[in-house]
């Protein structure tokens, strides 16, 4: 292990929850290097927690331990696990769908259930609502510090039994490619789709070309326009729209120096379909 520990949650920073998790980790080993991915995941949004891990983990050194706590089922019978990815990262999290994107797009090597009789903080067995502090931060710190090995976390969990959220399909024809809007580039309101650049390019779209874009919400048309496919935002004037490849190599749409999602009241999820179609 490289002694790097990275936290993610939907706790925000307005109270002491995140600080408490940092404190627990420091009590395990005060030489740990502790960082935060984000604590601004929308409350209870397991999907976004899963996506942000996928967006981020590959840029951290092998052996980094991530603790992700978005846990609307805290205290229930859902498992607490540690996953080792194919790339050699470790994710400490509830088994509630948070591993969806990592399993599908990166790959999981092995998952182990956290043995709470060994890795829960002492004298916390009667508290059922802050596993982020009492179980996940503690276990993550022990793993990152080398106090325990991955094998000592607990028993192996069948990878086929890991909870997964539904991921939208991508459908390509000779003249179009259809997918869904997975998530927003939150600060700027850009729409990030699940359509890989390769599928988009195979349809025949080229930089500088104007593409017909249709967005439907539960099959009802919410947006229909023609947009330029560019390399960057600077390929169009401020306030103009552009199709581009985002930082995870999927197709996205933005307004240069504007907020696409707010301008057109566009949301995310499987029911938000987006289609790119070649002009006739």
Closest alpha carbon to 179 in 208, 200, 205 = 200
The whole-angstrom separation of Cα 41 and Cα 54 is 14
Q: Are 131 and 138 in contact (CB under 8 A)?
A: no
The whole-angstrom separation of Cα 204 and Cα 238 is 27
Q: Are 256 and 233 in contact (CB under 8 A)?
A: yes
Could you report the average pLDDT of every consecutive run of 10 residues in the chain (280 residues)?
95 96 97 98 96 96 97 89 98 97 96 95 83 94 97 97 93 96 94 97 95 96 97 95 96 97 94 93
* Tokens standing for residue 162: 């890991």
The predicted structure's pLDDT at residue 31 = 97
Q: Sketch out the chain's domains with CATH numbers.
A: 4-161 (3.40.50.10790), 171-278 (2.40.30.90)
Residue 225, beta-bridge partner list:
213
Query: How is 86-145 classified by DSSP, letter by letter?
Result: TTS-EEEEESSSTTHHIIIII-EEEEEE--HHHHSPTT-TT--S-HIIIIIIHHHHHHHH
The predicted structure's pLDDT at residue 73 = 85
Residues 6+ apart with CB under 8 A from 205: 211, 229, 276, 278
The predicted structure's pLDDT at residue 128 = 80
Residue 242, beta-bridge partner list:
228, 254
- Name the E strands within 158-209: 171-172, 176-185, 190-196
Question: What pTM, to 2 d.p., does this model score?
Answer: 0.92
Tell me the C-alpha to C-alpha distance, in Å, between residue 233 and each of 93, 177, 237, 257: 36, 22, 8, 8
The predicted structure's pLDDT at residue 75 = 79
Residues 6+ apart with CB under 8 A from 149: 143
The predicted structure's pLDDT at residue 66 = 98
Residues in the chain: 280
């Amino acid at each position: 292990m490289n002694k790097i520990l990275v936290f993610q949650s939907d706790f925000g920073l307005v109270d002491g929850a995140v600080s408490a998790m940092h404190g627990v980790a420091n009590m395990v080993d005060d030489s740990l290097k502790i960082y935060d991915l984000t604590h601004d995941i929308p409350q209870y949004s397991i999907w976004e927690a899963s996506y942000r891990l996928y967006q981020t983990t590959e840029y951290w050194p092998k052996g980094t331990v991530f603790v992700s706590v978005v846990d609307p089922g805290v205290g229930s019978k859902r498992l607490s696990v540690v996953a080792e990815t194919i790339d050699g990262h470790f994710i400490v999290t509830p088994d509630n769908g948070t591993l969806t994107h990592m399993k599908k797009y990166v790959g999981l090597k092995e998952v182990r259930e956290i043995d709470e009789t060994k890795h829960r903080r002492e004298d916390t067995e009667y508290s059922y609502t802050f596993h982020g502090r009492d179980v996940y931060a503690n276990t993550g710190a022990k793993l990152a510090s080398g106090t325990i090995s991955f094998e000592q976390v607990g028993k192996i969990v069948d990878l086929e039994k890991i909870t997964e959220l539904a991921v939208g399909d991508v459908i390509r024809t000779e003249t179009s490619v259809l997918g869904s809007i997975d998530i927003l580039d939150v600060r700027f309101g850009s729409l990030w789709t699940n359509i890989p650049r390769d599928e988009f390019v195979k349809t025949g779209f080229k930089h500088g070309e104007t593409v017909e874009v249709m967005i439907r919400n539960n099959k009802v048309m919410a947006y229909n326009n023609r947009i330029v496919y560019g390399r960057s935002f600077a390929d169009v004037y401020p306030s103009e729209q552009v199709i581009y490849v985002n930082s995870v190599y999927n197709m996205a749409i933005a307004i240069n120096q504007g907020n696409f999602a707010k301008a057109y009241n566009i949301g995310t999820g499987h029911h938000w379909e987006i289609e790119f179609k070649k002009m006739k």
